[in-house]
Amino acid sequence: MSSRPLANSELGWLAYDPAPESASLARLAPSYGLFINGTFTDPGAHEQVPTLNPATEATLATVAHAVDEDVDRAVRAARHAYDTVWSVTSGAERAKYLFRIARLIQERSRELAVVETLDNGKPIRESRDVDIPLAAAHFFYYAGWADKLDHAGYGANPRPLGVAGQIIPWNFPLLMAAWKLAPALAAGNTCVLKPAETTPLSALILAEILQQAELPPGVVNIVTGDGATGAALVEHPGVDKIAFTGSTEVGRAIQARLAGRGTHLTLELGGKGANIVFDDAPIDEMIEGIIDGIFFNQGHVCCAGSRLLVQETVADEVLRRLERRVEQLRVGDPLDKNTDVGAINSRAQLTRIEELVAAGESEGATRYSSSCALPEQGYWFAPTVFTDVSQTHRIAREEIFGPVLSVLTFRTPEEAVSKANNTTYGLACGVWSEKGSRTLWVAERLRAGVIWANTYNRFDPTSPFGGVRESGFGREGGRQGLAAYLDV
């Protein structure tokens, strides 16, 4: 690529002063118990595990590690609540609770945004403007469905499944909790939710919100812990449905585990999304779309546009502008409102990113990384773009789940489609073109659950989201998201 573009500090006009949000808005307890049957268990009764701020490596709080007996108690509480309360509560009544939860998320949105950013490392701009509002929107949306299930297209009086075990990842902690809980509750199920081990805090604040909303005890139970806790939930015979979002590897293990057991299952797994850029696309918007597609949430996004497929005729110009834009990204304090790229969520994830980036270099791709300064404490990775990538490179095939873009080129729409589909995944793709007919032609041929046209990473509770092939099955969001929690 060309010589290094000017950095922010050299450009002057972009050098804002720091503008951090106050960490004290978080009001965290030093330690947390489990949320079972409407109350928090005594933190002292469990092994306590620290959760860190990945931007500083400081401990934010400690949380309980739920063992098999705890999971059993949570499932029993959920079953009891299902049998005695929730399955005989009318849809209109269930809706009232969901609306209340949505409003309370809005009321506590600043606190939730700060907690999410502290625990996850994502920029406050994203937690404030995306994660928390979308979490509230999800509860509002499914509240609206609770008394209209007869009209959801699944026949008259569709029945809930019973107790749902829900296992979520660390990249959108509260939002994934909302994606799981809201449709399940609207459909009349009770839940046991297992947050990810590195980001349990916003789910525990949500537990407080459920208490504030006076949700009947046991309707939602939250058990913190690691993969062993998740596995205990999968193993539990009292669970009627497992909903999992996370790695393809664990998803596969869960599917094998549940084979022949009759437990309902939906899986939302990894991806290697292609963002396809044609030479007639409006270039400014397209550059922003590429940036957002890969650097949003540090690239910790299952549907990230991690493979850029650019038409050869515009490749030079796109790459030149992309590099200049990458150089302008602000990397640093996630609590700073001016930050674009925050901290990598964990040491383990940073190691995975570093390993794949090293593979990209050793396999012969050309690496460009932003010259931005990285903080000394915490887990950081500079925004990175690989060119000269071939389809066989690991960085073109494997999910990096970090701020690393692999660029490939193509000449014809046919070639773009064939390269985009050359993956074991099938979650999301983007198509950028002025021509609607071309966009539709390409979209029809892409094997992916979600296809964005002239935009990327756009989420809305009314729109179903999910994958095909190794990206999983089942849909979340929209009317379709109800089917995952109804006996259809």
Residues tagged active-site: 268, 302
Looking up tokens 């991690």, which residue turns up? 306
Q: What are the start-end ranges of the E strands in 54-99? A: 58-64
Q: By CB under 5 A, which span of 43-51, 211-219, 226-234, 356-364 interacts with Mg ion? A: 43-51
What is the closest distance, in whole angstroms, from the C-beta atom of residue 367 to ligand NAI in the complex?
19
Pairing of strands 307-311, 366-369: unpaired
Q: At what angle do helices 91-107 and 109-120 cross, to 10 degrees?
A: 70
Is 269 near ligand NAI (CB under 6 A)?
Answer: yes
Pairing of strands 366-369, 384-387: antiparallel
Q: Could you write out the DSSP letters of every residue in 277-317?
A: E-TTS-HHHHHHHHHHHHHGGGG--TT---EEEEEHHHHHH
Strands lying side by side in the sheet with 274-277: 366-369, 384-387, 404-410, 307-311, 274-277, 428-432, 450-453
Size of the site for ligand NAI (CB under 6 A): 26
Out of 8, 37, 41, 51, the only residue in the binding site for Mg ion (CB under 5 A) is 51
What is the closest distance, in whole angstroms, from the C-beta atom of residue 14 to ligand NAI in the complex?
32
Instruction: Give the whole-angstrom CA distance, residue 285 versus residue 308.
Output: 15
**The entry of Mg ion, ligand NAI, none that residue 302 binds, CB within 5 to 8 Å by partner kind:** ligand NAI
Handedness of CA 345, 136, 107, 66 (dihedral sign): negative
Out of 399, 431, 452, 486, the only residue in the binding site for ligand NAI (CB under 6 A) is 399
Instruction: Give the whole-angstrom CA distance, residue 52 versus residue 439.
Output: 43
Instruction: Give the whole-angstrom CA distance, residue 382 versus residue 373.
Output: 8
Out of 37, 41, 117, 171, the only residue in the binding site for ligand NAI (CB under 6 A) is 171
Q: Which is nearer to ligand NAI, 35 or 145 (CB)?
A: 35
**The entry of ligand NAI, Mg ion, none that residue 250 binds, CB within 5 to 8 Å by partner kind:** ligand NAI
What is the closest distance, in whole angstroms, from the C-beta atom of residue 377 to ligand NAI in the complex?
22
Pairing of strands 472-473, 264-268: antiparallel
Is 352 near ligand NAI (CB under 6 A)?
Answer: yes
Q: Which is nearer to ligand NAI, 246 or 413 (CB)?
A: 246
What is the closest distance, in whole angstroms, from the C-beta atom of residue 199 to Mg ion in the complex?
5
SS3 state of residue 367: strand
Is 247 near ligand NAI (CB under 6 A)?
Answer: yes
Report residue 354: phi and psi, to 5°: -60, -40
SS3 state of residue 341: strand
- Show the tokens assigned to 279: 């030479």
Q: Which string of x and - marks every residue 190-229 that binds ligand NAI (by CB under 6 A)?
A: ----x-xx----------------------------xx--
Q: Are 179 and 138 in contact (CB under 8 A)?
A: yes
Q: Which is nearer to ligand NAI, 158 or 271 (CB)?
A: 271
Out of 7, 25, 49, 253, the only residue in the binding site for ligand NAI (CB under 6 A) is 253
Cα dihedral 222, 225, 231, 233 in deg (nearest 10): -20
**The entry of ligand NAI, Mg ion, none that residue 304 binds, CB within 5 to 8 Å by partner kind:** none
Q: Which is nearer to Mg ion, 33 or 360 (CB)?
A: 33
- Show the tokens assigned to 338: 């001016």
What is the closest distance, in whole angstroms, from the C-beta atom of residue 364 to ligand NAI in the complex?
23
What is the closest distance, in whole angstroms, from the C-beta atom of residue 446 to Mg ion in the complex?
35
Out of 8, 198, 245, 248, the only residue in the binding site for Mg ion (CB under 5 A) is 198
Out of 401, 425, 452, 485, the only residue in the binding site for ligand NAI (CB under 6 A) is 401
- Show the tokens assigned to 448: 């992916």
Q: Are 176 and 194 in contact (CB under 8 A)?
A: no
Q: Which is nearer to ligand NAI, 170 or 410 (CB)?
A: 170
SS3 state of residue 264: strand
Contacting ligand NAI within 429-488 (CB under 6 A): none
Q: Which residues bind ligand NAI (CB under 6 A)?
A: 167-171, 194, 196-197, 226-227, 230-231, 234, 245-247, 250, 253-254, 269-270, 302, 349, 352, 399, 401
Q: Which residues bind Mg ion (CB under 5 A)?
A: 51-52, 119, 198
